Structure 1
Amino acid sequence: MPLDMPRTASAETSDNDLVFQIIAGNTPAFEILVRRYNPRLFRVARSILKQDADAEDALQEAYIHAFLHLAAFRAEALFSTWLTRIVINESLGRIRKNRQWNNVIDLHENISPTDIAEGATMRVTHHSEPEHQVLQTEIRHLIEQKLDTLPPLLRLVFILRAIEEIPSTEVAALLEVPEATVRTRFFRARQLMQEALSREIEAAYGDVFAFDGERCDKIVAAVMARLH
């Protein structure tokens, strides 16, 4: 097969092969990359911009930029890292343009490099029962709300490490910071998330096995009826 002829692309095709095919003229193969990285990249953009619509707009622009500059990609680095960096730059650019924050995120901000061991990442067990699905949705919404309260730098690292489960070495390369800085930010983000979620749980203790309203009225009525 001539090198300049695109091969058949599928969901199993590697990133680098897809990039080669797209550059060679197989434009439809780009859809595979978009679908492959949509979940991760939306979360990254959302962690920076804090609005779904803004994150979607940034994601679209980042994909267009990546497509137009695929020839600049060097296979020495992971394609996922290269693409994620484009999304981060696009998101940060929108913040600078719109002045949404007084202080723009500085990915190189110094944080005291304490050697803190990383704990296990947050994992969620999936259940098929409707009541579990409802509970998981409520938990997810709560986590999203608490994530939005994290400082921007910590929120981004938490998304990359805990949600996307990207290794610290890759996150460090992506953000162009020392790996120790990634570990420190992740530890602090997890600590803040745990504290915030713990407060929510403690506030709900008083509602455990709640018995009021119609249920209370029903028992009252039944008891009083038997007393007469």
Structure 2
Amino acid sequence: MNNGVISSPPEDPVKCTSKNTNCTITNSIGIFPDRSICEAGEVKYPGTEEELISIVATATKNNRKMKAATRYSHSIPKLACPDGKDGLLISTNNLNKVLRVDAEARTITVESGVTLRQIIAEAAEAGLALPYTPYWWGITIGGLMATGAHGSTLWDKGSAVHEYATEIRIVSPSGPEDGYAKVRVLTESDDDNQHLNAVRVSLGVLGVISRVCVYIYFIHFLIYRRLNA
């Protein structure tokens, strides 16, 4: 008799009846009480920052409401519900590349649709690790940043992963002078980093995060800290 446990990821929270139009989105994770279904007119799946800029610009020019959606829609649907049947969902499913692991600077740069599992695996290859993380590794870095997902500790900057973000690129609606979309690059080295702090837990209302650079630690350092805590 096989007593093993078999697990599988949740279904795609975005479902459409006609290709990528006439869609719905809901929360795939039952632990949250809100399992309501949100309607959306269309979903777009940008694969590059350039494609994301074009999608945001077109929607802005047409005065269309839009919201970002992640791979599993771990949040409650109201945060990802754009405007009923006229709204646009922008899924980060295909923004899923690890762009750079810098062992010397102890940073990892990834697109916003990269999952926590991917980050942990890629960082480990370089002997690095996030100090604390949420319990579920299916969450994406963009969703993690936007919702303030966290682990549990008071050490260093605390357990919220967004506190370790050193740079965030976000695509936001803008005016015709910017082509109706603008990429904002927010870093810790900015003289005034209040905008970075706002984007760190923006709940998806300030734009669509395209990529994130996060500070990480050497694994042997974290082991030493735990053994001597």
Q: Same fold (TM over 0.5)?
A: no
Considering fraction of residues, name the structure with more strand: 2
- The alignment's TM-score, normalised by the length of structure 1, stands at 0.23
